[in-house]
Amino acid sequence: QVQLVESGGGLVQAGGSLGLSCAASGRTFSTYAMGWFRQAPGKEREFVAVINWSGGSTYYADSVKGRFTISRDNAKNTVYLQMNNLKPEDTAVYYCAAKRPIMALTNMVYDYWGQGTQVTVSS
């Protein structure tokens, strides 16, 4: 069992930056691929970024490539999402999720989810 808790959301102006964190419980965090997803009001949950168990491989949605960076610290059981040059269309609830053993871009195959953190970007 893995419990995930996101933090770091908030309100920021367009062009600004925010950093999200996702802290995981348990001693098997380093065996999980970790993903970030987001869901805007009235829209389906969509993939944002994913990182493999070691941190050596990442993948991003085209909409955030070059602006967002996913990373992890297995010693701290934490995955991060640094978001720069934020746009109003980035406004959503952001979720972290865990699955093993390999990365995936679809939310349907993730086993564990956090409760989400709100990110609001004003224009």
Is residue 107 predicted with pLDDT exceeding 90?
no
What span, in angstroms and rounded, lies between the C-alpha atoms of 113 and 98?
7
Under the banding of pLDDT at 50, 70 and 90, the label for residue 104 is confident
DSSP states along 4-25: EEEE--EEEETT--EEEEEEE-
Phi (first) and psi of residue 104, to 5 degrees: -150, 155
What pLDDT does 27 receive?
A: 81
| 78 membership: H or E segment, kind and range | strand 78-83
pLDDT per residue as tens digits for the range 51-87? 999 999 999 999 999 999 999 999 999 999 999 999 9
**Nearest residue to 116 via CA among 25, 12, 32, 37:** 37
